[in-house]
Structure formats: C-alpha cells, structure tokens
Structure 1
Amino acid sequence: MSSAVAGRPPVPSAPPAAVLCGLGGWLPPRLVTNDDLAERLDTDDTWIRTRTGIGSRHTIEPGQATSDLAVEAGRRALDSSGDSSGDSSVDAVVVATTTPDRTCPATAPLVAARLGLAGAAAFDVAAVCTGFVYGLATAAGLIAAGTARRVLVTGADTYSTIVDPADRANAIIFGDGAGAVVLRAGHPDEPGALGPFDLGSDGAHEDMIMVAAGGSRSRPEPGRTSRADLHFAMRGKEVYRNAVTRMAESARTVLDRAGWKPADVDLFAPHQANLRILHSVADDLELPRERCLTHLRSVGNTGAASIPLALADTAARTPVEPGSRLLLTAFGGGLTWGSCVLTWPALSAPVPPPYQGEDTTP
C-alpha cells in the first residue's frame, strides 16, 4: 500500500541529523611558558596571567605546518570513533583554519590524503576563530542533504606563523594546536546529535582582526610592505566588547531554537579567547563559571582549534555523561560568530589527551 493518503502527497521523512561519534586533539610538543616570553618581551608571568588567564602555549617547530597538526588530531578522532585511519566511509573532510599550509591549494585535500581518505570531498573553511562552528554547520548540512554519511571536521591553526614574536599584545595570547570530530548521519534525539545553529558576520569591521597584507587586496611588495602588515593584528578592547556581546547573543539564539534554558546547559564550551571573555560570556548568560570548559590556561588561544581541543581535553580528563547538554559558541575575525548545541555521545573508544606525554598545565 502506498504511504500517501488518497489525494495527499507522502509526508517526507526528516533529514538525518549530524551525530558526533569521534573526538581527538593534538598539540605540538614544544611548550612556551610565560617565563620564556618574559625573557624577550617586556612582561612577566603575573602580568600575562592577570590579563589573559594563560600560563603557557604550544608552538610548532621549524618545518612543521598546520596540516601536520590536523592529521594527528584527525587520526585520533577517527580512532575514537572506532575507525582506522583509512576508513573509506568518511565522505568529506573539512579543515577550519586561518593558517593554511599554502594560499593555494586548500589544506584539507592534503590532510585527507595523509589519512588515507583520498577521494573524499575535502575543503577548507575560513572564518578565523569561529571556523570550527562554521565547519560543524557545513558538515551537518552535507549530512542533512544526503551528500555525506560521515564527515571529519578539524579545527587547526598555527598562529605562531602569523603573529609577530616581538608583539607583546598578541604573542602572549596565541598558541598552535588542532582538534577534530567525526560526525555521522543519525537521529536528532540520540546522544551526540548536534542541535540548531546560529551563524553571523559583520564585514564592516574586518580591520578589527586581520593580517593586512598577503591577499589580492594588498599583495606583499619587497621594500614597500611593512613588517606589521605581514603579521596578525587585533584591536583588543574592541574585540573584547564585540566578542562578549556577539557570543552571548548567538548563544541565546540557539538556546531558544533548541527550547533550552541556560539552566539546562550542563557544560559550556566557548571559544578559548581569554579567561576574562569566557567568564564575561558565562556571567551574561547566567551560567555558573564552573560549567565553563577552560583549556586556555595551558594552551592559549588556538583559534579554530580551541573548542574541539577543549572538548578533547575534557573528555580525556573526566568522563562526561552521555546525553549531557553542551552549548558551543565562538567569535572571530571577519567579524564572524556562531553557536550550536550538542548532546554528549557515548564514544566507542576513550579520547586520549591532546598532550604528548605528561599533562603540561602550569
């Protein structure tokens, strides 16, 4: 018998939801403490901790690149999902980054090839520190459309390659790292399902966070392009105000769409910009600060990697009850911002800590 009632078209089935089934993170072994920075900058450990909450950060070695971190984080996420690193069931690879290996081509195809996933769709997402949330939304759309059944989403950045090491304002904040998740097609009511998204931008303020030279708008010219224009720049006070406002507004939007109240949130996973921003957003949302995942003390601001790294660090340290409700929110250059909700999954395998060797929390 036809499923359609006489005279009526059949009721379409709901599109599949994106369900988190794998998680991993990776940090390069080289640790740079506040005392290390104090040796070459006019600063000290107390000054840095007071203003940022950061005690150390990791940086790549010469010869390493963003793809190296993305591959390691991706491999760990695949292992966590129960897959080996050559599983052909991964249909797409998304890399969110501000620091690609090259301007052309994208970094994602290389990451896919090194993971044994050649043939999968692969592309980069450029939304600065909001990149991972944008990547999740993109992957969820691929799954909902039936274009992919499984997607690897990685946030990876090596800010040490674009931040001027002599820039005291920014050199103390940023670190290198990568975090990744595997998403599969599933049901919206099962643990691991991603909920509603909210994404936004305001390009009128692109100069608030930017690298001025290097693109088609301002090509580097020997002898004419300044050192400052080749490096990352940020207007800190304006970024702080906009980050708190945009993250809180976006978070409220997705909570409303999900039918959640702030009290329903078990864990809050904001972009790890600095401790003052994290606490200000939590306070604005009336969320207890102890529910806020805080990973930046030992890694700094890792850009698009910060949210998945915080999730991986939390999962490696303390078991999270499947079905726990998480709120994710981020803000970055562009300006861009975005949020989503997530219920915690029952992962097939333990999540290893993102660190190499012992915990490096200062």
Structure 2
Amino acid sequence: MAGMYRSRVSGIGSYLPEKILSNKDLEKMVETNDQWIVERTGIERRHIASEDQATSDLCVIAAKRALEDANLKVEDIDMILVGTVTGDHQMPSTACFVQAKLGAKNIMAVDLNAACSGFLYGVSIADQFIRTGMYKNILVIGAEVLSRYMNYKDRETCILFGDGAGAWVMSRAAEGQTNVIESSHLRADGTLADLLILPAGGSKIPQSHEAIDKGLNFMTMKGRDIFKNAVRTMASCCQEALEHNKVAPEQVDWIVPHQANKRIIEAVADQFKFPMERVIVYLQETGNTSAASIPLAFDWAVKNGKIKRGQTILLTAFGAGLTSGSILLRY
C-alpha cells in the first residue's frame, strides 16, 4: 500500500581525486606546519580535483560505483539528488549534468544546497519519496570541489577543505526487511548564516572584478563560533534521533559524523560517553569535503570491514546555514 513503504541503502560508492595536497605542501603556501594542523584538526592530507574535473565528474564516478554495488542499472533509477555548494555552474543544476553523463533519461534531477548537511538532507528527502510509494530507486550524491573556492593565503580555511564525492542508492525495502532508514531529524538556523559563507557569486554580490579584488569569491569562516555551534547542534540532533527511536547510545554500533575536525568529533562523542573506537574518522585522508564527507567516510568504513550489514548506524552533520541533522539507520 502506498505510504507504507520503507527505504534501505542498497548500494554505496565514492571517489577521491588522484592529486593530493598534504600538510607539508601547505607549509610552502601559507604560514602553518604539519604538526599544528594535525594537532588542531586531525587532517593529514586532502584530495584536489584536476583542472578538467568539475563536480559532476566526481559525482558520476561515485554514482557508477554505487549502482554497481546495488546491482542496478542506470535505467532503474527514478530520481537524482545532488548535495553540493560547488556546482558546475550557477545554473542549471549539477544533478542535470550528472543525469546526462549517466544517460538517465526523463527522471527528476535536482541539487540541494545545505552545505555539509547536504547529503543527510538528500537521504531524508529520498526516504520520503520512497515511503510514499512514488519512487523505488533514488540516487543520492554528496560532492564538492571546494579547492576552487579556497584562498590559499588564509590558513583559517585552506588547511581544512578538500574535494571528493560519495553516493548511495536508496531503494524500496522488501516487506518485512529490517535494514531500513529508521528516522531523520533535520534543522537549520539562518541567524548564524554569516559564520561560514561564500560572499560573492549570488544575487546579493554578483561576481565582478571588484568582488574578486576584495577576495569575496573565497569562502570565509569564523572558526571558533563554528566549532561551538557544531558540537552543540550535532549532539542535540543525535540525542533527538536516539530518543525518537528509543535507542540507547550503547545500542549504536557506529557513529558516522561529518568529517570537519577531529576535536569536534571527539567532543560530540564525549557528550554520549561514546567510545571513539566506534566513531568513524576518515578526515585524516580527506579533510572536510562538505556534502561528500559522510558518504566518503561510510564507504571507506564498509570497505575496511568496520561497518557491516545489519548494524545500527547514527549519522550526524552540521554545515553552513547553519544546517544540521541526524539519521538513524539499520544498514
């Protein structure tokens, strides 16, 4: 019966560009050093898209890997959702370019701009479309080419961010199947929008020589305020998910948090007395990849035998907006 369906994660995939920007490389570009970066963030390196790679190109590689993992063809997909703040163009949507490159014809394709929470927003939206019976298989992608928006003279931001893509195929679960999305809990607080922002390029400050001269085409961040609000919002969203599903922290096999800063991750885990041994940390390899962060870390954890089918997983993120959210799922 329509409205009684559940959704599951049927396939996962990810992609990291080949070029690596290490902390040692950054030492030559900005006043910083490897020890300082590792101690304060946990990041050791990040991957950088090649000059001929757009966000949609990263999406397509991750998407094909997810489709293969799900044992589905492009023709089986009913909808494409792309979480990104670094789309190929201001318009049209990056999802439309992904659709064309995959050869998926006449299906819904749209971008979601929720920054680092974008993938969770996408999974939640896909879950709703499947629950209502409207669609059976939805491709959800989180992808960013953040390196194009970095000021490599600003150590507040350039040490943190990298490029990458992760994708899930969300599918209708069979009747009685327990490996499903249990619930999602999403939020936003626009009063804090100025804490992490890319000022130029929109209708308020169109791209211009003046904007570029002022550096407004680069991302800016108020790090201390972001840290404080990240811990608060992710911990609150996790608590909401646990209470909604009547699940105790010890019943969760893994937390997969947004990979922004190891200190933030440790602070969130500490709120629940949750051991770091059961928290997926992959940012040492990727840096902060925004919407790609969670699916990249999830895919890595599955491939390395940490996350297994049947386990209970708690996802949580925060991002510019400020957006935040959590999802509890049985993988």
1:124 lines up with 2:111 in the alignment: yes
C-alpha displacement at 1:189, in angstroms?
Answer: 5.7
Match of 1:360 in 2: none
| 2:32 counterpart of 1:19 | no
Q: Secondary structure at the match of 2:32?
A: coil
Q: In the comparison of the two structures, how many residue pairs are matched? A: 331
1:297 match: secondary structure: helix
Compute the displacement of 1:45 (Å): 0.7
- Helix, strand or coil at the partner of 1:229: coil
Paired-residue identity, %? 37
Partner of 1:3: none
CA distance in 2, matches of 1:286, 1:126: 32
**Alignment match of 1:257 (pick from 221, 244, 250):** 244
Match for residue 278 of structure 1 among 238, 261, 265:
265
Which residue, 315, 321, 342 being the options, matches 2:302? 315
Name the counterpart of 2:164: 177
2:152 alignment partner in structure 1: 165
Corresponding residue number in structure 2 for 1:355: none
Residue 14 of structure 1 and its aligned partner are, at CA, apart by 5.2
CA contact (8 A) 1:74 1:152 kept: yes
Give the Cα–Cα distance (whole angstroms) in 1 for the partners of residues 215 and 174 of structure 2: 49
Q: How does 1:291-302 map to 2 (within 5 A)?
A: 291-302=278-289
TM (norm. structure 1) is 0.89
Instruction: Report which of the two structures shows the higher radius of gyration computed on alpha carbons.
Output: 1
**Contact kept in structure 1, 2:80 and 2:110, CA below 8 Å:** yes
CA distance, structure 1, for counterparts of residue 307 and residue 190 of structure 2 = 37
Determine which of 132, 142, 145 is the counterpart of 1:155: 142
Alignment gaps of 5+ in structure 1: 1-11, 345-362
Measured in 1, the distance between the counterparts of 2:211 and 2:245 equals: 52
CA–CA distance in structure 2, aligned partners of residues 117 and 285 of structure 1: 43
2:90 corresponding residue in structure 1:
103
Cα-to-partner distance string for 1:169-196 (whole Å, 9 max, x where unaligned)? 1111101000000011115863431111
Q: 2:72 aligns with which of 73, 83, 86?
A: 83
What secondary structure, in the 3-state scheme, does the structure 1 residue paired with 2:288 have? coil
Q: Write the distance in 2 (CA, Å) between the matches of 1:141 and 1:75.
A: 23
Cα distance, 1:189–1:277 mapped onto 2, change above 3 Å? farther
Aligned pair partner of 2:62 in 55, 67, 73? 73
Secondary structure in structure 1 of the residue aligned to 2:241: helix
Secondary structure at the aligned position of 1:326 is classed as: strand
Match of 2:196 among 199, 209, 213: 209
Instruction: Give the aligned partner of residue 351 of structure 1.
Output: none
Which of the numbers 244, 256, 261 marks the counterpart of 2:231?
244
- Which has the larger share of helix? 2
Q: Is the 8 A contact 2:29 2:152 kept in 1?
A: no
Task: Summarize deviations over 1:45-91 as a string: whole Å, max 9, x none.
Answer: 1011011000000001112110110000000000000124xx31210
Residue in structure 1 matched with residue 128 of structure 2 by the alignment: 141
- Paired amino acid for 2:61: E
